[in-house]
Copies of this chain bind each other. A is one copy, B any other.
Amino acid sequence: MIKTPYLLFLGDAPDQLAAKVAQGIKDWRPENAVGQFRMEGCKADLGLTDMSLEEAKAAGAKTLVIGVANRGGVISQAWKKVLVMALEEGFDLASGLHNLLSDEADLVAVAAACGRELHDVRVPEVDYPIANGKKRSGKRCLAVGTDCSVGKMYTALAMHREMEARGMKATFRATGQTGILITGDGVPLDAVVADFMAGSVEYISPDNDPDHWDLIEGQGSLFHVSYSGVTMALIHGGQPDALILSHEPTRDHMRGLPDYTAPSLEELRDVALTLARVANPACQVVGVSVNTQHMSEDEAVAYLAGVEERMGLPAVDPFRQGAARLVDALAAV
């Protein structure tokens, strides 16, 4: 569990895109983002107050989050100077970088000396159990995609925000590094050892109130041959009551797999529901979330209307239209 709120470290980000993890934190958990720390030459700006370490500390920040990609896969000496000072000022550090904070001997030594924690969110911090498949109380929703990177996390976060606004009991359960940094907790599922994948999903989504919903962050796709095992573990470990189908209609092949095309929403519905009902016979597909970012408004509206008619399910782009209709469908379960 990463201590919140955060000071968001943007370093010397070459452009706005390099800071997309920090952007996600600011967009989805503004209450976690006390301010931003930018170094000379930084080309990203989240529109947060620029703060020194002392100012952020005084404003209550507990963790410096590296919300930016680094250049060349190396934690530079310029960054190091800030990170060491942050530890000395009493901040924990959290990072989703490929190269780990815990592999940097100087950071490890300073953290130990100062009694601070280093969180590498790509590395599991828990010894997860093997899944036991026992029925848990409370309800769970999972987005499953025709492909990777079609908006499953966005859908879950948008639904969560809508549910909170309605006063429904809901928790977003992160299963990837960005989600973990946004919320401060979760499982980096793609880094978990095979035997414990489903168990880790059970672990992050325990028994809860009967009217509480976990919105479990989806990963991969049953139809993406590189990552389908991860998706499978989410479906069985998550034992969802409700599935949302996620799709991006303009791709001509699966992400990273030039020889593969995405399945239809009907194919996804049939195989995902069959498998989900192994763990939860009551599971239903309740809606479709479409990422229409590469379509015009007219195209998007027409496409969504077509899906809705074909599938008999509410079909929305939560980015254009909000997640209200998906939440209506969930509330009816």
Contact = CB atoms under 8 A, between A and B. Distances in A.
Contacts of A233: 194, 228-229
Interface in A129-186: 130-135
B191 A225 contact: no
The residue in A239, A259, A278 that gathers the most chain B C-beta atoms within 10 A of its C-beta is: A278
B194 A275 contact: no
Interface in A189-242: 189-195, 197-199, 222-223, 225-233, 235-237, 239
> Which of A133, A228, A239 counts the most B-chain CB atoms under 10 A from its CB?
A228
B228 A230 contact: no
Given A275-B222, A278-B223, A228 B198 contact: yes
Nearest to A280: B225
A191 B193 contact: yes
A271 interface: yes
Contacts of A239: 225
A61 to B, nearest CB: 32
Contact of A226 (B131, B228, B230, B235): B131
A199 B226 contact: yes
Contact of A195 (B191, B222, B257): B191
A162 to B, nearest CB: 30
A222 B230 contact: no
A270 B233 CA distance: 19
Interface in A257-277: 257, 259-260, 263, 267, 270-271, 274-275
A133 B258 CA distance: 9
Nearest to A195: B190
A131 B279 CA distance: 27
B222 A228 contact: no
Interface of A: 130-135, 189-195, 197-199, 222-223, 225-233, 235-237, 239, 256-257, 259-260, 263, 267, 270-271, 274-275, 278-279
Given A198-B228, A228-B233, 18 more contacts: A131-B226, A132-B226, A133-B257, A133-B259, A134-B259, A189-B194, A190-B193, A191-B194, A194-B194, A194-B197, A195-B227, A197-B229, A222-B275, A223-B278, A228-B235, A231-B232, A260-B278, A263-B278
The 3 closest A-B pairs by CB, nearest first: A229-B233, A225-B236, A229-B229
